[in-house]
Amino acid sequence: MRTFRFIISVTCILLTGGSAFSQQSCTGFHKKNCNSGSKDGWVYNSQSKSGLFLEGMSSEIKIVIFKDFDYSINLCNDKGLGKGELGMIVKDAKTNEMIYDNSVDNMTQHFEFTCETTRSIIVTVVAPGGDGSESKGKGNDAKKSSEKSSGTKSAEGSGGGCVGLLIEQMASHPTGFGPMKPEKKDGGK
């Protein structure tokens, strides 16, 4: 009876192990593959993500950025994800105002900015190989969306691969003379 249970357990692990591995294979991809600025004082931001993308797929993530911090966003992807660079669009989450679009910046995979007021932004990443209209996902729903739009195709068999979004931050350095503060006078109440 123990042998039978062992065989059943091993069979279940082998049957589900392949699909579990493919779902988890992108975990931590951004930490290992995206260019980090840690040598230059940048600190890892826990809102960074990795995900499995199909060619032409787009996905959005909402990020909170804080006043008086500089931010660095780096993109990276598997070579098998199609030819070209990843698209990145950054918009204000409340007003939908365009903050940055790398399609007008030579498709650079790196963007740095200073946040002057605490707010939420939406970063949209588009995988090469399409215009992003094939499927859209938000955060962790990106994989579910790609499964719906692609039927039974696996990411590996249809030009898919891992995408990393590495977000780093550091305290802003004051520039210029800074704000003038009036001196307090001792004579008044």
CATH label of the domain that carries residue 39: 2.60.120.380
In-domain check, residue 95? yes
pLDDT tens digits for range 5-38: 545 554 444 344 444 434 448 999 999 999 888 8
In-domain check, residue 20? no
Tell me what the mean pLDDT of segment 104-130 comes to.
Answer: 93
In-domain check, residue 74? yes
In-domain check, residue 46? yes
Share of residues in the chain with pLDDT > 90 (%): 52
102 lies in which domain range?
Answer: 26-171
Please say if the pLDDT value at position 97 is more than 70. yes
pLDDT tens digits for range 132-189: 454 444 444 443 333 333 333 344 455 789 999 999 999 998 777 766 555 656 555 5
- In this structure, are residues 68 and 135 in contact, taking their beta carbons and an 8 Å threshold? no
- In this structure, are residues 43 and 169 in contact, taking their beta carbons and an 8 Å threshold? yes
CA dihedral in degrees (161, 167, 168, 174; nearest 10)?
A: 140
- Number of structural domains (the chain) is 1
Please say if the pLDDT value at position 1 is more than 90. no
